[in-house]
Structures are given as C-alpha cells and as structure tokens.
Amino acid sequence: MLNETMTALGKHRSTIREIFEYGNRRAVEVGRENVFDFSIGNPSVPAPDAVRQAMLAEAAGDPVALHGYTSAPGAADARQALADDLNRRFSTDYTADNLYLTAGAAAALSCAFKAMACPGDEFVVLAPYFPEYKMFIEQGAGGKCVVVPPSVTDFQIDFDALAQRLNQKTKAVVINSPNNPSGVVYTEATIQRLAALLRDKARAFGHPIYLISDEPYREIVYDGLTVPFVPHYYEDTVVCYSYSKSLSLPGERIGYVLVPPRATDSGDLYAAVCGAGRALGYICAPSLFQRIAARCANMTSDISVYQTCRDLLYDGLVEMGYTCVKPEGAFYLFPQTLEPDDRAFCERAKQYDLLLVPGVDFGAPGHMRISYCVQPDTIRRALPLFGKLAEDYRK
C-alpha cells in the first residue's frame, strides 16, 4: 500500500506543467517557432557573465571542498557574504546566523511552513497566489491553507477580506510582491496597513502572526520602482528568497530563508527552520551555487528585456480591448479572460497555439496568466493571434 495522496500528486502534473508539456508536443508537430508558449516562468535572459566567471574561478579550486557537503544551513562564509549584501542594500545588521540556504524559494517556503506549523495551524495566502503554496502548506507541513479572494481592480490587498480570515489559529500570512501571477508590486501604504493589521490581531490573539514574504522577483521591477523591504515594516517577517529569477539560475536551486534577529523567538524559529530542512531531507543547499550566489549576490541578469516585453504585450493587449492591471514587476501579465470560464478561454486560445494558464489555478477565476519571459519577437508575432482570439468573441 502506497501513500495515495502522493501517488495522485505524482500522476497529475500541475496545470502549468501540463500546458508546458503540451507545448513541447505541439512544437514537434508544427515547429517551435509556431508555438507561443506563455505557460512557464523560466527566465529568458542568460545569467550575468560574472556567474560563468565565478564558476570557472571556483572550478580551479580544491575539488573536494568544491563538491563536498557544507554545514546544513550553508557554508558560514557564503551565508555571511549574503548577509553583507543585504546589510549593504537595506541598512540591516544580519549575520550568517540569520540565513539558512536552501534549494531555491520552493525549499525555503517548505522549510518556513514546516518550521512553524503546529496541529490545526492556518496559513493565509492572498489570491492571486503561487499554486504550490497550498501543496507546501497542506501536504508538506500539515497546515491548513486559507485563501483570501483577490482585489481584482488593482491586485493590492482586500483588507476586509483578509481581516475576516485571521483568527486564533492563524500562524502566518504569506505575501509575494512583485507578484506571480499579477506582476503587481505592493505599495508602501499596502505594507504599512498590512503590518498594522497583523500587529493588532497578534495583540488580540496573544501570539505572534508571522509574515512570510516570498520574494523571488524582488529585483525584477520596472520604471525605477523600489520594492519596500518588508522586515523594515513588520518585525515578525521571515523572507524566502531565490536566485532563480534575479540571476536566471532556476535549475541550480539556490535561495535562502532569512529569519531576522528581531522576529519573535528568532533563535528558536531559526532552529526550527534548520530542523524542518533536516526533516525534509535537504542536507544542504547545492555547494557550488552557495559560492556562486555569495560572489554574485549584488548583480542581476539584464532584466531590461522583460520591460520591453511587458510594454509590448500590455500596450498591445489593452489596445485590442483586453482589460489588465499594469504589472510593475516580475514577468507575468494577468488580464481578464474574454469569457468568465477561464479554462474554456485558455482551451480556445490553443487553437491559435497561444498557451496561457487559467487564473482559477491562482485563486482568481476569469483571468489568464501570460508569462512574458520570452523574446520580444515572440510577443510581436503573438499579438495578431490575441487579436484573432478577441475577434472570435465579438462575432
């Protein structure tokens, strides 16, 4: 007898993966250039050349140390280098002991949830949200995932809806800004209001409510925007970060959990994150990329191409009559579908080989996610097809 839930999870891919695999099959039939795969968030710009240089420099060193286990939270010098980078950018005073290095943000989130979850605990996520949260919270950590419906006019936070869902059992609220799938960046006013609400509720319930800030897109913002650094606004913040997007290294699996020293029970919480990593069998984050991240933490890939894509796609779709909140970061657009049934709409889009992800998967039905981490030319060639699709709905 096997674990039925895990067997089912293994047999059914996520919708995003399903569409991505469909795109690969379709590419064999009609040619890669005729398939407009907007399904997956795989960075389309290369890692900075400094990453290659750092790999070469590391490869010239001691191969035993290079490929060996590091200490479980990550090599102390790599953690200190990442803490120094944060301190430089955000005027903080973090040390190696505040950082636990992980195999990307997915592992960081899994460790944070498992570190916190006690029987009956609830974790609140705000739609539209990254679908794997539910998996990590419920299947990984044994918590309950509570969803706050989206504020569809601007994709900031619906505070009344959030307040209604906070209760004695709330262990943490999860935010993700810049957001996948909406591309929206929470304003400073939103973060301040959120901090005030959580402080009030924590006082009323007599226990801390942690804020888990999932930030793999922190550096990917447009028009010179600055993303508020959440721990400055709310002390009980835990940051989950990844170099998958900022350095275009998603396959290398490197990120971290930051437990700031001023968070409630910081020392024990950090220990619990380490314990969760141990329970989940992570051992240590990939050792070569701990070193690469330490050397390249202050850089990003050339993200200007994402802004070109955002502008082309947003302007093009709005001109055709699609309704969309203008994204200010990440590399996703989240327009309304032209019929309420977003799954049916995305199925219809396949007739034009436009591969889009239904919003219902992110807790926001009636929308579609378009990942525009593609070449600008792909968008130029896809726009007329979005036009034909819109025409179909006018007939």
Q: If we measure between CA atoms, which residue out of 238, 169, 176 comes closest to residue 201? A: 169
To ligand PLP, the closest distance from the beta carbon of 395 in angstroms equals 36
Rg (CA), the chain: 21
Q: Is 40 exposed, middle or buried (0-12, 13-18, 19+ CB in 10 A)?
A: middle
Which of 58, 158, 214, 328 lies at the binding interface for ligand PLP (CB under 6 A)? 214
The two tokens of residue 39 are 């399904």
Q: Which is nearer to ligand PLP, 259 or 389 (CB)?
A: 259
Report the alpha-carbon distance of residue 38 to residue 147 in Å, rounded: 25
Q: Which is nearer to ligand PLP, 180 or 237 (CB)?
A: 180
43 lies in the binding site for ligand PLP (CB under 6 A): no
* Residue 118: partners with Cβ closer than 8 Å, 6 or more residues away: 171
Which of 23, 183, 216, 359 lies at the binding interface for ligand PLP (CB under 6 A)? 216
371 lies in the binding site for ligand PLP (CB under 6 A): no
Q: Which is nearer to ligand PLP, 115 or 338 (CB)?
A: 115
Pairing of β 170-175 and β 122-126: parallel
Q: If we measure between CA atoms, which residue out of 73, 141, 115, 119 comes closest to residue 273? A: 115
Distance of CA 334 to CAs 88, 322, 328, 365, Å?
34, 10, 12, 11
**Contact set for ligand PLP, span 224-253 (CB under 6 A):** 242, 244, 250
16 lies in the binding site for ligand PLP (CB under 6 A): no
Alpha helices in 206-286 (DSSP H): 266-279
Q: Which is nearer to ligand PLP, 198 or 240 (CB)?
A: 240
Which of helix, strand or coil describes residue 214? strand
For residues 165 to 204, the per-residue mask of contacts with ligand PLP, x marking binding by CB under 6 A and - elsewhere, is -----------x---x------------------------
106 lies in the binding site for ligand PLP (CB under 6 A): yes
Backbone angles phi, psi at 335, to 5 degrees: -75, 165
105 lies in the binding site for ligand PLP (CB under 6 A): yes
**Region near ligand PLP per CB under 6 A, out of 12-20, 74-82, 104-112, 167-175:** 104-112
Binding-site ranges for ligand PLP (CB under 6 A)? 41, 104-106, 130, 176, 180, 214, 216, 242, 244, 250, 255
